[in-house]
Structures are given as structure tokens and as C-alpha cells.
Amino acid sequence: MFDDRKTGPEEILLADEERQPCEIWTRVMGYHRPVSSFNRGKKGEFRERLYFSERRADLG
């Protein structure tokens, strides 16, 4: 949302009662599932995941 009098976006403030939980999905064995449907062990594995970025291979 933009206000004509400003150059930036308006700040949106929500009361705690207006907020809703964000559902996190992840890819498992070729399909997507919500993390909320995982059992305790699988949720623990999800929290322990490490994220990384691979550099492009130099094939020349």
C-alpha cells in the first residue's frame, strides 16, 4: 500500500488478535508437506538442517 504523500510503503500495524500463524512447508522425498504434520522426530530433523549454497563448477 502506498500513500501519495510519501515515497515509501505505509507501515501496517496488527494487533496480536489479528495475526495468524504462518504454515511452513518443506520438500520431503519428492513432494511437499507442511512441517506441522511431522512427528516429533521429523520436526527435530527439520530444525537441525543446514542450508548451504554451492558455487558454480569450473569446467574449463
Please write the tens of the pLDDT for every residue from 14-55.
899 999 989 999 987 889 999 999 999 999 999 999 888 988
State the pLDDT at residue 44. 94
Closest CA to 24 of 37, 39, 15, 14: 37
Q: Is residue 40 in some structural domain?
A: yes
The total domain count for the chain is: 1
Q: Is residue 25 in some structural domain?
A: yes
Instruction: Find the domain containing 41 and state its range.
Output: 20-47
Residues in the chain: 60
Predicted TM-score of the model (pTM)? 0.51
Mean pLDDT within 4-10: 64
Q: Is residue 11 in some structural domain?
A: no
Q: Is residue 12 in some structural domain?
A: no
Q: Is residue 8 in some structural domain?
A: no
